[in-house]
Amino acid sequence: MTKESNRMRHISVLLADDQPMIRTGFRLILEAEGDIDVVGEASDGREAVAETERLTPDVVLMDIRMPNMDGVEATRLITRSVPSSHVIVLTTFDLDAHVVDALRSGAGGFLVKDGPADSLVEAIRTVATGDAVLAPRVTRRLLDRFAGMPSETAPTVPPRLDALTARELDVLRALARGLSNAEVGRELGIGETTVKSHVARILEKFQLRDRVQAVVLAYDCGLVTPRSAPTPGPR
């Protein structure tokens, strides 16, 4: 496949929000893009799961607070039953405890509803390729605030980290601190390509979708805690 044809691959999107005007606004934004097709809509979490199973969209835009079934539970069911569909959760506030539950449930990231339109489009394109849509630093800021709260989606028994080598543990700790591949490489004295290989093996060993899921894992396993993690500096 050429670069040009790959760039024009169409991305199918399902919109899940209980407010019709919000869905209409998103549809207008997305249908203006030549490579994005809105293939369906859902007005609650239960309908979102059913429509995802029927349509298997590349990306689901999921409102986190909906009637009948909220976006967290819908995300958990979708990532289990339709793993090829990637979920972006939508929230009104960036520091929302429910976002952490959604990330634990398999969401590839989150967006604030009043964000710019180009961020929405770019997020969909990013998640459709299997990458995470938010920076690990943002995830860590959420976890620093909410990791100690009870969660229905946190694992009852965290996976054992002894499957990782000492170097992979070092890399996972660095990821949980919000470092980029280049920053991890400089800190550990290894090349960026080697860092990418370590990250890929971490994701493979624990069947994680992306780096954000690795950060959540580090917190849930106690490898990094909110108390021990320093506050990120200005960006």
Amino acid sitting at position 197: S
Higher pLDDT, 6 or 217: 217
Q: What is the predicted pLDDT for the residue at 210?
A: 83
Residue 180's Cβ-count burial label (10 Å; 0-12, 13-18, 19+) is middle
- Whether the per-residue pLDDT at 155 is higher than 70: the answer is no
What was the pLDDT predicted at 181? 87
Cβ(151)–Cβ(133) below 8 Å: no
CA dihedral 22, 211, 221, 189 (to 10 degrees): -150
pTM: 0.77
Q: Which amino acid is at 234?
A: P
Tokens of 74: 């819908």
pLDDT digits (tens, 9 = 90+) for 11-49: 999 999 999 999 999 999 999 999 999 999 999 999 999
Q: Is the pLDDT of residue 131 over 60?
A: yes
Mean pLDDT of the chain: 84
